[in-house]
Amino acid sequence: MSKKIQGVLTAIVTTFDSEGAFNPAAQRLQVQRQLSAGNGIFCGGTNGEFFVLNEQEKLAVTETCVDEVNGSAPVVAHIGEISTRETIRLGKQVAKLGVDAVSVITPYFVPLKQEELIAHYRAVADAIEVPLYLYNIPARTGNTLQPETVRALASHPNIIGIKDSAGSYESLSGFLKAAEGMENFNVLTGPDSLIHRGFVEGCTACISGLANVAPKEINAIWARFHAGDIEGSRQAQENITGLRTDLYSVGFPPATVKKAVSLLGSDVGNSRYAVSFSVEEEQKIRQIVNQYLQ
């Protein structure tokens, strides 16, 4: 049985240089920054811009993160592709790099039936030699994992949990209910607004994009909860919820997160996809970060 992953995993940004190429040295600095706050690493996800990375870049990002962590914290890598074949292809390569687990979004662009999603995930889980988390993010894929589907998949010995990024408490609670009585299947929160509530109701970990901006502040939600300070955890969540609401009002969340990290003084480069910020928007992001991160 795989070791249970607990606490905070940062959905770490992928660092680029001035030419837009992957910057391993800068990536290591971001990993160190997260480790110093007590956070693990989730690489190659939405905040890591997986959708604009080629296969070799995805492998390079994962290898860099695993090497820098060097066993001191969990590393989970995202391997979801549009087809089962390509997901397995990438997953087999990533599994050799020393990750603790992988995550797989539902295939995207093509609408799938629940039984087709079950077949996809079982095929991937059968083919790779590393534990697998389901990854539900319907706003980006167009496919939603239903609780009964997740319950069916949870019986697979290599499927160990689900990351829910649907964005609502209703979705998260549905998966928590589906996981009841299944000791080796864990639910992880995706939305930063639900971290505290998720821990209170049984989530074992969160995967946080906002931890790129506020690594210590996100970790405080977990650390206080884990220490039994439930009210302190709730208060830490309130501050983060305000930061999230204001920051994400500026633009597409992964882009605003990366811009905020840059404005905090880290050389992480620009987002690779088509997004830009005006001088006024950059100033607004700076003001928001200064307001919440004293």
For residues 176 and 194, what is the distance between their CA atoms, to the nearest angstrom? 13
For residues 115 and 145, what is the distance between their CA atoms, to the nearest angstrom? 10
* Whether 163 is catalytic: yes
Instruction: Single out the catalytic residue among 135, 258, 259, 284.
Output: 135
* Whether 273 is catalytic: no
Instruction: Single out the catalytic residue among 163, 258, 259, 284.
Output: 163
**Beta bridge partners of residue 159, listed in sequence order:** 132
- Name the burial class of residue 41, with classes exposed (0-12), middle (13-18) and buried (19+) by CB atoms within 10 angstroms of its CB: buried
Question: Where in the sequence numbering do the catalytic residues fall?
Answer: 135, 163
